[in-house]
Every structure is written in C-alpha cells, then in structure tokens.
Amino acid sequence: MYNMKTIKGPAIFLAQFMDDKVPFNDIESICMWASSLGYKGVQIPTWDKRCINLKKVAEDSAYANEYKLMVEGCGVKITELSTHLQGQLVAVNPSYDTMFDGFAPKELRNNPKSRTDWAVDQLMLAAKASKNLGLSAHVTFSGALIWPYVYPWPQRPAGLVSTGFNELAKRWIPILDEFDRNGVDLCYEIHPGEDLHDGITFERFLSATKNHSRVKMLYDPSHYILQQMDYIKNIDIYHDYIKMFHVKDAEFNPDGRAGVYGGYADWVDRPGRFRSLGDGQIDFKSIFSKLTQYGFDGWAVLEWECCIKSNEQGAVEGAKFIKDHIIQVTEKSFDDFADSGSDEKGIKKILGL
C-alpha cells in the first residue's frame, strides 16, 4: 500500500520558451508570463544566462535566496534546475564532437577534454545551487559514449557495452557523490540519443554505479511511445526511481515506408513525432493515476516540443491540460459509509474463531 500524494503543478520548463523578445528574454518577465497562464512552477535551464547565474547561486547562499524570492514574487516556484546540455557533455562519443561543441563555451570548442572538465564542473555547481535553492531533485542527460552502436551492425565487439557503461559510471560517480553531499537526487531523463534511453540501459548504469542512492529518473512518456515501449508498465517497474515528470505528448504512426527509425525525415514527416498536450496519443489519465497511486509528489512539468503547434499556444493549452489531470487525493474510502465497525473480539467471532 503506497501513501498516495497529490502531484504538484502545473509547471513549465522554460528552455523552449526563452527568446530575445519580451516577455521571454529575462527570468523575471518569463516567470510573470508563466504565472499569468496559470502555472505554479518553473523548471530552470541553467545553461541560459538570461535565466540564472549558476555559479553565483551555487557559491552565494544569500544571493540564491534573493533569486528564489524574486522568482516566487512573480507567482511561481522553482521546481528544479536543469543541466541537460552540460550533462550531455560529460560523455561524448568522438563522432559527435563537432555537433556537441555548440553546447560548450566558444573558448572550449575543439578541445574535448576541457569541454568535459567544464561540464563536470557545471554539474558540481548545480548540486550546490539546488541545495541553496532548497530543491531536492535535479535533471540532466547522461551523455552518450555507446549510442552510435545501438543497432548491432556490424557486430559489436565483445565488451564494448560493458566498457562503455563502466566509463560512464566512472565519470558520473564523483558528480553523484557531490549531489549526495548536498542532499539532492540526480534524475536522468531517459531519452533516445543518450546511453540511458530505456529501462534496460538505466539498470545497466545503476549497476555500474553500484546502485548509487542518488541515481534517479525523469519520466517522460513521449520518449517511450516513440520507442514503442509500454510507458504505463514502466511506472509499475520504476516508480521508486521516478522523482521528476515531464508532461509531453507524442504520437507514433508507422506505415509501409517508415517506422521507429524515421528514415532521416524531418520531425513533421516522421512516423514518431512530439506533439502539444492533448494532440498526441499519450494516455495521460492513466499516467497521472499511476503516479498518484505510487505516491509521486513531485511536479508535473510541461515540456513543449511540437513540430506543428506554436509554443505559445502550447503553453496556454498546457496549463489547463495539466491542471485538469492532477488528481486531488482522496482522504476517505468510498465504502466508508457501509463500515459496520468491529473490534478484535468481533473479528474473531466473524471468522468463527
């Protein structure tokens, strides 16, 4: 029997909404915009300097408190910090060096070792910053050393996968230890393109880190339906590890020409594509019920990534969508009215004992 909790929200991940135009060009303005739409929380992308000075929040607790109060003064709370881009750079297969260089400061490009060192330092700062903001969970990507070999052709050399996961764990364990020292869970977004892209790879990583207590999971069903996974049973299996939740819709419509791999098509033409909330195929009623049943009391955070609808329309519709799906947990049993009551003596009498 799990202690059911009411999920917090609605909240919104700001990464896909930051822009050079008002009100999306600074943290105070965008927080006020989010609040005006009915959002109660914001998830902060730490790589965007318009959103946060990560180093200052990590190293100056007084400033961190001022920053937190400023955000709350706009009518929203900080749900979590995100280091998706920095986490990606903790582990980069050489085939991705050129493309992922764009995630790093310009002075570190074409220098993979310095880029990785910077990424690790960013995660260390994020652990301290999360603590200073009073947060209990943080989201990131695992990075990808093995992803280019996800489809075994040519045959993978024996030991490639285990060596890759051991190296991944070696890089992340010092970071996980820092998060542990700061009392913060590190939630990996399970995502194609990352070495942690499904349940099996999450378990491989967990084993490689010797079941590190801070290894947790961000649940985003859109990444599972595009892989044709059972995203409802995933909650049954991993609910103890799910500490964060991205509410993002998607659809999968394979035909005789393309399926899971998508044929290199652009997003709008792929069989699997992300959609705004309510426009895809995800069964969110079942998801919210499952998470509530298992006692998830984190935030329901909109992540907008739609290849058709505008982000502003998606944000307006998303706030109501999430609010309507949050289940206010019952404090009484539906059949309490029929309780005839009894004591131990009465129970034994009923059983004929």
pLDDT < 50 positions in the chain:
none
pLDDT given at position 183: 98
pLDDT given at position 350: 86
**Rounded-to-integer distance, Cα 256 and Cα 159, Å:** 36
pLDDT given at position 348: 87
pLDDT given at position 335: 57
With CA atoms as reference, report the closest residue to 27 among 53, 55, 64.
53
pLDDT given at position 334: 58
Please name the CATH architecture into which domain 8-350 falls.
Answer: Alpha-Beta Barrel (3.20)
- The residue ranges of DSSP E strands in the chain, in sequence order, are 8-13, 41-45, 77-83, 137-140, 185-189, 215-219, 242-247, 249-252, 272-275, 299-302
pLDDT given at position 344: 87
pTM for the full predicted model = 0.94
pLDDT given at position 231: 98
199-251: pLDDT as tens digits: 999 999 999 999 999 999 999 999 999 999 999 999 999 999 999 999 999 99
pLDDT given at position 134: 98
60-105: pLDDT as tens digits: 999 999 999 999 999 999 999 999 999 999 999 999 999 999 999 9
Contacts of 155 (CB under 8 A, 6+ apart): none
pLDDT given at position 225: 98
